[in-house]
């Protein structure tokens, strides 16, 4: 830590985290609020307000499981919005996360059981990715232990483990507009601001028929027969449309097809396809918006394709617990 320049954001955030940790050591917390997982997680959100760096605290709360637990990261974001109600995502610069002992017991056994370095859980990752869309250099800092001497900057929520599991469509990408090398999981170019999943960037044809096919596959993969039964009138050249959507973008290795066809002959939206559809729906008037964020059902679940809302909630938040609990199951996007 001492090797970092004094003006380094990670170093300043860590100094502030140390102050928060010392405050916690002196004051402790009410165990009632941690009665579900027995874990306490502190977080500190770095925001820029009126040209000044501010550090906003967060702590997890587990009051009632049916209503969901609130992780430290999301608590800090909500705290920042409460303290500075006009704050925007651009003003959020980074966040530090640290697990500390419940009941203020600092024996080596207790400290050894802490899960530091603690990555954000799936639900917090969703929030942080939304912030990162407007604040491309947003950073996440975790610590090896309570000395805070070794910080791990999780470059845009990415670890080697995660990169092995992640969808290749969301991997590192080289912007075609400005040649900036962008980090995995980022969707907006850190230099020129282009959206890698916009139809124009992907040079996706803009005719309605292409979007009709994406919509049809939103919830379930389908065979050619099923698709043509559904779309025959509106998409007479269905075969060509499907071929076009499956084609890769030639020399651009980091642009992926929009549809894929599996060994059973079923057509699926790829992650790129889902991202395009999501943007299309975000652009619609709110009454017509539908939720496109979930992954399609597996074929064996075909009959249950209406339960998409619930499924989405399960995927984003694998366990309705604090980060400490949820992070035990390593998740990929
Ligand atoms: Zn660019
Ligand atoms: Zn979380």
Residues 203-217 have pLDDT tens digits of: 888 889 999 999 999
Of the two residues 333 and 73, the one the predictor is more confident about is 73
d(CA 221, CA 6): 53
d(CA 295, CA 270): 9
Residues 56-110 have pLDDT tens digits of: 999 999 988 788 889 999 999 999 999 999 999 999 999 999 999 998 788 888 8
Distance 176 CA to ligand 1 centre (A): 7
Average pLDDT estimate for 259-287: 82
Distance 120 CA to ligand 1 centre (A): 27
Q: What pLDDT score does 173 carry?
A: 81
* 199-296 topology per CATH: Arc Repressor Mutant, subunit A (1.10.10)
How many helices and strands in the chain, by DSSP H and E? 12, 9
Residue 30 near residue 63, CB atoms below 8 Å: no
Average pLDDT estimate for 277-291: 62
42 phi/psi in degrees, rounded to 5: -105, 145
Distance 252 CA to ligand 1 centre (A): 14
User: Do 199-296 and 9-157+319-326 fall under one CATH topology?
Assistant: no
Q: What pLDDT score does 49 carry?
A: 94
The ipTM is 0.56
Q: Which two tokens stand for residue 65?
A: 């499981």
| Assigned CATH for 9-157+319-326 | 3.40.140.10
Residue 288 pLDDT > 70? no
End-to-end CA distance of the chain: 30
d(CA 83, CA 57): 11
Contacts of 333 (CB under 8 A, 6+ apart): 125, 162, 166, 167, 170, 185
Q: What pLDDT score does 211 carry?
A: 92
Q: What pLDDT score does 184 carry?
A: 67
Distance 58 CA to ligand 1 centre (A): 34
Distance 312 CA to ligand 2 centre (A): 16
- 262 exposed, middle or buried (CB, 10 Å; 0-12, 13-18, 19+)? exposed
Residue 275 near residue 269, CB atoms below 8 Å: no
Task: Give the residue extent of every domain in the chain.
Answer: 9-157+319-326, 199-296
Residues 102-124 have pLDDT tens digits of: 987 888 888 888 888 887 777 78
Q: What pLDDT score does 114 carry?
A: 86
Q: How confident is the model at residue 251 (pLDDT cuts 50, 70, 90)?
A: low
Q: What pLDDT score does 66 carry?
A: 80
Residue 73 near residue 120, CB atoms below 8 Å: yes
């Amino acid at each position: 830590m001492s090797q970092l320049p004094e003006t380094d954001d990670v170093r300043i955030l860590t100094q502030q985290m140390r102050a928060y940790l010392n405050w916690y050591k002196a004051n402790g917390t009410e165990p009632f609020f941690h009665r579900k997982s027995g874990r306490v997680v502190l977080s500190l959100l770095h925001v820029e307000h009126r040209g000044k760096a501010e550090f906003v605290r967060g702590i997890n709360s587990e009051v009632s499981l049916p209503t969901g637990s609130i992780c430290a990261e999301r608590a800090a974001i909500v705290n920042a919005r409460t303290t500075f109600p006009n704050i925007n995502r651009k003003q959020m610069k980074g966040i530090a996360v640290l697990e500390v002992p419940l009941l203020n017991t600092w024996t080596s056994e207790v400290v050894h059981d802490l899960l530091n370095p603690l990555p954000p859980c799936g639900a917090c990752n969703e929030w942080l990715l939304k912030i990162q869309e407007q604040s491309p250099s947003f950073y996440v800092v975790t610590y090896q232990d309570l000395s805070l001497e070794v910080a791990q900057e999780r470059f845009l929520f990415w670890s080697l483990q995660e990169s092995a599991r992640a969808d290749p469509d969301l991997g590192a990408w080289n912007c075609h507009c400005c040649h900036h090398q962008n980090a995995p999981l980022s969707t907006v170019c850190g230099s020129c601001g282009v959206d890698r999943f916009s139809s124009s960037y992907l040079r996706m044809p803009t005719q309605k028929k292409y979007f009709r096919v994406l919509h049809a596959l939103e919830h379930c993969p389908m065979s050619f027969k099923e698709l043509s039964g559904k779309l025959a009138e509106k998409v007479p050249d269905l075969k060509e449309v499907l071929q076009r959507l499956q084609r890769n973008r030639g020399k651009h290795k980091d642009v992926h097809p929009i549809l894929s066809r599996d060994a059973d002959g079923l057509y699926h939206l790829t992650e790129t396809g889902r991202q395009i559809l999501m943007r299309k729906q975000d652009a619609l008037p709110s009454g017509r918006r539908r939720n496109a964020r979930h992954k399609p059902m597996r074929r064996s679940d075909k009959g249950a394709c209406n339960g998409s809302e619930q499924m989405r909630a399960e995927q984003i938040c694998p366990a309705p617990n604090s980060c400490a609990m949820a992070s035990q199951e390593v998740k990929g996007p």
